[in-house]
């Protein structure tokens, strides 16, 4: 079975040109087939402000009305995605920039209105892994912006962590998949003020304990929820690490936080 590395890059790396350049150089060095999923929320907020469009966040999630959907489409699918593709091409990586609408790759439905109306936010329903596999077999590196679509012509803002997990899970049909979430921290930390307090391994049991103690909280919880779903559904390895460590993490050198299922009794 072919090996495939899927990497989600986010945090402060995307909006820091030097950090992004360093990451992409490391990404280039990863052997074998690979896919990149990126965020870009801070840049979207900055562009929205320049356009006089207000940003509303609830529990770390962006409320996406029609003006904000226009902004994230421009920023995620255009500015950020094409800048990353251009930089990868310059490094000799034959990359193709995509949203979920391109080649019918990631389908979603508009999130139902509950206590909060998130607007044009998509919950993923289907990944067209056969089409993504076609790109990979052509020795192309797909670079996904966090946008999906709803079969009726509407783009939807979609969480990049969720998108990475969904693509990874569907690609296990044809590949041995490693999923890496990388950002500006060295992994999941036991002390948010100490960058060296990396929790080297998490199981569902230890994750539950850390959450109950408040050690793991806020935005790390949805990231880890997505990561554990991927492990449970057949992804070989899930690693959370610093963007500078991505090549080391993929090679298995022990950096970052590795997620695994508990050993059965």
Q: Is the dihedral of CA 146, 110, 65, 57 positive or negative?
A: negative
Round to whole Å and give the CA distance between 213 and 132. 40
CB-based contact 132:140 (threshold 8 Å): no
Strand-strand pairing, 237-242 and 95-98: unpaired
Distance CA 221, CA 231 (A): 15
Q: Do the beta carbons of residue 7 and residue 35 sit within 8 Å?
A: yes
Which strand (E) or helix (H) includes residue 183? strand 175-183
Q: Counting Cβ atoms within 10 Å, is residue 6 exposed (0-12), middle (13-18) or buried (19+)?
A: buried
41 is in an annotated binding site: yes
Is 62 marked as binding a ligand? yes
Sign of the torsion formed by the C-alpha atoms of 85, 49, 153 and 112: positive
Tell me how far CA of residue 55 lies from CA of 39, 65, 115, 224, 242, in angstroms. Answer: 16, 10, 19, 25, 28
Q: Is 157 assigned to a binding site? A: yes
Q: By C-alpha distance, which of 96, 79, 76, 82 is closest to 34? A: 96
Judge whether 40 is annotated as a binding position: yes
Backbone angles phi, psi at 42, to 5 degrees: -65, -40
Give the C-alpha separation, 246 to 261, whole Å.
22
Annotated binding site for substrate: 40-41, 62, 157
Annotated binding site: 40-41, 62, 157
């Amino acid at each position: 079975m072919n090996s495939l590395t899927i990497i989600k890059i986010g945090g402060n790396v995307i909006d820091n040109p030097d950090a992004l350049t360093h990451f992409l150089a490391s990404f280039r060095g990863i052997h074998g087939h690979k896919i990149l999923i990126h965020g870009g929320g801070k840049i979207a907020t900055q562009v929205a402000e320049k356009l006089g469009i207000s940003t509303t966040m609830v529990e770390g999630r962006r409320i996406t009305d029609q003006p904000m959907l226009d902004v994230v489409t421009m920023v995620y699918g255009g500015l950020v995605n094409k800048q990353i593709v251009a930089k990868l091409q310059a490094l000799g990586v034959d990359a193709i920039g995509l949203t979920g609408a391109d080649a019918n790759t990631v389908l979603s439905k508009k999130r139902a209105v509950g206590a909060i109306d998130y607007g044009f936010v998509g919950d993923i329903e289907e990944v067209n892994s056969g089409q993504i596999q076609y790109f990979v077999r052509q020795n192309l590196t797909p670079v996904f912006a966090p946008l999906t679509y709803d079969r009726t012509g509407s783009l939807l803002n979609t969480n990049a962590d969720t998108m990475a997990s969904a693509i990874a899970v569907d690609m296990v049909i044809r590949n041995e998949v490693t999923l890496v979430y990388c950002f500006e921290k060295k992994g999941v930390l036991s002390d948010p003020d100490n960058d060296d307090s990396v929790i080297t391994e998490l199981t569902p049991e230890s994750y539950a304990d850390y959450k109950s103690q408040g050690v793991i909280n806020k935005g790390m919880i949805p990231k880890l929820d997505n990561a554990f779903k991927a492990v449970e559904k057949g992804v070989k390895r899930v690693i959370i690490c610093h963007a500078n460590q991505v090549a080391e993490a993929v090679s298995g050198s022990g950096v970052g936080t590795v997620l695994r299922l508990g050993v059965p009794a």
